[in-house]
Chain A
Amino acid sequence: MPEVFEPKIVAFFCNWCTYLAADLAGTSRIKHAPNARVIRVMCSGRVDPQFVLDAFAKGADGVLIGGCHPGDCHYQEGNYKALRRVALLRRLLKQMGIEEERFRLEWISAAEGERVKTVINDMVEKLRALGPRVQPVRKEVA
């Protein structure tokens, strides 16, 4: 039987919405794929693009950022700052040959335990379809 590819996802969840949503998924026993590893930050606005690049450089198959819904940020507008950075970062990742599906920003409120499951399961499915990351090979110039 061929082994199923298990992608590893590094997830940056904000303390007030998405981290709590993941806690709620726990207390509600909402089973989901075990592929995401959560790093807690106070706000999605804290996610430095370098964290994302570093995760990909070290072999993450996907990176997920979870923040509060627009307008609901615990710090008023940190999630908008995250959104702006993500837009730029997407273009950079594309140039580096990292497929779009590998990097996601999702708004998940503290009440949306179910959505933690949906997002993670969906991402795992897409990453499985994509397969492991292929490291770009530097071509030697003659």
Chain B
Amino acid sequence: MSEAGGAVRIGVYICHCGANIAATVDVKSLAASAATMPNVVVWREYKYLCSDSGQDLIRQDIPNQRLNRIVVASCSPHLHEQTFRAAVAAAGLNPFYLQMVNIREHISWVHENRMEATSKAQDLLRAAVRRVARHEALERSRIPIHPDVLVVGGGIAGIHAALTLANAGKHVYLVERQPTIGGHMAQFDKTFPTLDCAACILTPKMSAVKAHQKITLWTYSEVVQVDGYVGSYQVTVKRRTRYVREDLCTGCLECLEACLYQEGRFTDEFNAGLASRKPIYIPFPQAVPQVPVIDPEACIQFKSGKCKKTCIDACGDRHAISFQLEEKTEEIQVGSIIVATGFQVFDARRAPYYGYGVYPDVYTALEVERLVNASGPTAGEVVLRDGRIPKTVGIVHCVGSRDENTNRWCSRVCCMYSLKLAHLIKERTGAEVFNFYIDIRTPGKGFEEFYQKLLNEKVHFIRGRVAEVTDWALDPTEEGKLILRVEDTLAGLVRRIPVDMVVLSVGLEPRSDAQDVCRMFNMTCSGEGFFTERHPKLAPVNTFADGVFLAGCCQGPKDIPDTVAQAGAAAAEALVLIDSGSIETEPNTAYTDEDVCSGCKTCIPLCPYHAITFLEQEKKARINQATCKGCGTCVAACPSGSIRQHLFEDEQIFEEIEGILTYA
């Protein structure tokens, strides 16, 4: 039996979505109006169409009522088009005989007047009914998936995703911008709430990455271009030079000792600026790879050309150091990509009332992470810049979080890391510690218990947003101290708390170049720059670019356990792609009716994918179905109307317009 043959018989299915739709759209009258629409032979409304019993209505009606077109009025096609296509296909009908009407996101959730909402739903339903009559059976084509994966970012998210994939036998390229992998986690001493040592859980994973046969690790490198599509991405990676050859360096670090600079003189980024490093350095002792970097901005040889080059002498016959090395560009082919580019901390200078950068004893939490770290600049001693041990410490929560003037979101980790730092500072110094908070948010496993532990340790908690940090003493007890002015909203009074040290619990925000990264990988991001997942609940690691997955804080602030879980999920999604070997494509490609094509070549330069070739002999344009991505720009431009697009045929869109305006 030919599906499309004979009369068009349309089944219309209207979903209540519980009360989500039914409360605003009169589904009964919508169904009644469907009955009056051309070619509609079945009309039904149901509580939850996406449920198995809902889908069953469609699956049974297709053979029983000899339906050959289906219209489902429910949620966005972005949510359930695949679900209903599968239901249609299960009943033996070509899945592209389905059209969805978005009466939830576009109607019931955004309109209040029931009559207006129902009338809009009728218009859109009529448009779909008219459109679907023009639908044709289409076949999906399959494109193969290249089994290699690119992981962008070598923090804990990227490391975990790369190891998971590599352990499954897949080849991974791990690209990290910094000279070492490890990311922010490498800077921490302890992790909340278990207080286990960050280095002890991270550094073995870092060395496993380096040792893994299946992982190609490129540090000090950046992805600069991404072309292609799911299954077949061509990626260009710029590999900056360290001026030290990774293949020859043994990691003996004698060159560091030999440098003419006896002491570090340049800002040590890894130590959050609390220490100095030499022009030749490794970021931290456990860095992976154990290969030094020469900073050409600082090195005498680069600046004057007159250095004795003691580093080269120290390297001896290994010849790993060369000032002539240049950056390289690598071209790789991968089938899927995991983006794990992480976050940056809020710049505390943007909240000038807290005096960061003005008063030396105001620190950011990241700086204090380095201070309490046994391998940090003070070997774990919590001391002020002048060497004093603080007797009183004030920790200001929500700096650059939950704030209309800076960042509005909650950074999720600050409450807990503030508690952790309070515990560590008290443990190391015996200082009296004050936490200034808006709310204490402890929703994770073991978090609330940790908060209780801190209360028992007699750490002070003052509820109120700190107004300012000042050194303006009003009485002798405040002399030489930093004073936190705060309204204690529980006690109901304005207080002044003098302390020796202020710690600003800075929030997490997207990296400043997040928008560019977003564009490069063809993803979408929020206005702030956090990358958007395909669906917040059902596709939390997928993006709108097929084959590109998300892990870690580039998607939104999260703690280490959540990051690792998400990285594992992203790796699993990539594995699904790789192990299925191929992926079905949406058959919405453009094609030419060569009988009508006049050979004007208007379309040729329009295609960004070079999918259109001009057949010189026949003087016709032909579209490569494998490279066409289905934007339809050539279709709209073709003067002779010879270019058409599957799923978005001109006739189908004209029917929609007609349907919308029929009773205008």
Contact = CB atoms under 8 A, between A and B. Distances in A.
| Real binding pair | yes
Interface in A18-68: 19-20, 22-23, 25-27, 29-32, 34, 37-43, 45-51, 54-55, 58-60
A76 B650 CA distance: 23
A125 interface: no
B302 interface: no
Given A48-B650, A72-B519, A43 B525 contact: no
Interface in A90-117: 109-112, 117
B367 interface: no
Contacts of A55: 657, 661
B104 A45 contact: no
A38 B650 contact: no
A72 B524 CA distance: 8
Interface string B617-644: 0000000000001111101110000000
B110 A26 contact: yes
A37 B123 contact: yes
Contact of A111 (B524, B645, B650, B654): B524
A17 interface: yes
A81 B664 contact: no
B6 interface: no
A31 B110 contact: yes
Nearest to B545: A74
B636 A48 contact: yes
B419 to A, nearest CB: 32
Interface in B504-551: 519, 522, 524-527, 532, 544
Nearest to A9: B660
Main secondary structure of the interface of B (DSSP, over half): helix
Contacts of A22: 105-106
B189 interface: no
B661 A59 contact: yes
Contacts of A81: 606, 633, 636-637
A71 interface: yes
Chain A interface size band reads: 35 or more
Contacts of A6: 116
A29 B650 contact: no
Contact of B124 (A19, A37, A42, A75): A37
B648 A41 contact: yes
A10 interface: yes
B337 interface: no
A31 B76 CA distance: 17
A85 B637 CA distance: 9
B648 A46 contact: yes
Contacts of B608: 75-78
B109 A46 contact: no
A31 B116 CA distance: 13
B219 interface: no
B47 interface: no
A46 B657 contact: no
Given A25-B105, A48-B650, A54-B654, A39 B117 contact: no
Point out which of B124, B608, B636 has the most chain A C-beta atoms below 10 A from its C-beta.
Answer: B636
Contact of B127 (A39, A45, A47): A39
Interface in B82-127: 102, 104-107, 109-113, 116-117, 119-120, 123-124, 127
Nearest to B630: A42
B120 A75 contact: no
B237 interface: no
Contact of B532 (A59, A76, A110): A110
A49 B650 CA distance: 11
B633 A46 contact: yes
B76 A60 contact: no
Most buried by A among B105, B588, B658: B105
A42 to B, nearest CB: 5
Q: Which 10 A-B pairs have the closest CB atoms?
A: A26-B105, A46-B632, A45-B633, A75-B631, A43-B631, A26-B109, A76-B608, A48-B636, A58-B661, A110-B524
Given A23-B78, A34-B119, A54-B657, 11 more contacts: A10-B660, A20-B78, A23-B102, A39-B127, A39-B657, A48-B650, A59-B664, A72-B519, A76-B608, A78-B632, A85-B636
9 contacts: A23-B106, A34-B113, A37-B124, A37-B127, A37-B660, A45-B631, A45-B633, A50-B650, A75-B629
Interface of A: 6, 8, 10, 16-17, 19-20, 22-23, 25-27, 29-32, 34, 37-43, 45-51, 54-55, 58-60, 71-72, 74-78, 81, 85, 109-112, 117
